[in-house]
């Protein structure tokens, strides 16, 4: 997955700014869970989740009509920032996969126990 950054106007101090879409900070499991839990408000809650995750990289909410759902970064090295974000999202996917695997193993154990099968 490659994050697509869009160059926008510099900040007031002349530092370069880039914006990316908030879905770069979420994954399918987040989307499924939030749609099931929040229904119609899932997108706003997903945006809030992505915004909180982006803050550790200096991300801020992009208040502009030209790019809906954007998170803005001030960076002179956007390539390194993109790599850090991609590594973070990949670690989230691994963590969720491990959690899902543990939940599946636990539910399998509960199912076997309920059926009277010792293991």
- DSSP SS3 for 9: coil
For the whole model, what pTM was predicted? 0.74
Pick left, alpha or beta for residue 118 (phi over 0 → left; psi -120 to 50 → alpha; otherwise beta). Answer: beta
Question: In the chain, what are the domain boundaries?
Answer: 6-114
For the segment 50-107, what is each residue's pLDDT rounded down to a tens digit?
999 999 999 999 988 877 889 999 999 999 999 999 998 888 877 776 665 455 455 5
> Strand 6-8 vs strand 70-74: parallel, antiparallel, or unpaired?
unpaired
CB distance 31 to 43 below 8 Å: no
């Amino acid at each position: 997955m490659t994050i697509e950054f869009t160059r926008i106007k510099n900040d007031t101090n002349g530092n370069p700014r880039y914006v990316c879409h908030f879905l770069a900070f979420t994954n399918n499991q987040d989307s499924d869970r939030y749609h099931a839990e929040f229904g119609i408000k899932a997108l706003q809650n997903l945006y809030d989740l992505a915004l909180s995750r982006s803050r550790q990289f200096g991300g801020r909410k992009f208040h502009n009509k030209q790019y809906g759902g954007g998170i803005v970064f001030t960076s002179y090295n956007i390539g390194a920032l993109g790599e850090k974000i991609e590594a973070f999202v990949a670690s989230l996917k691994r963590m969720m996969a491990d959690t899902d695997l543990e939940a599946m193993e636990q539910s399998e154990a509960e199912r076997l126990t309920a059926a009277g099968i010792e293991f």
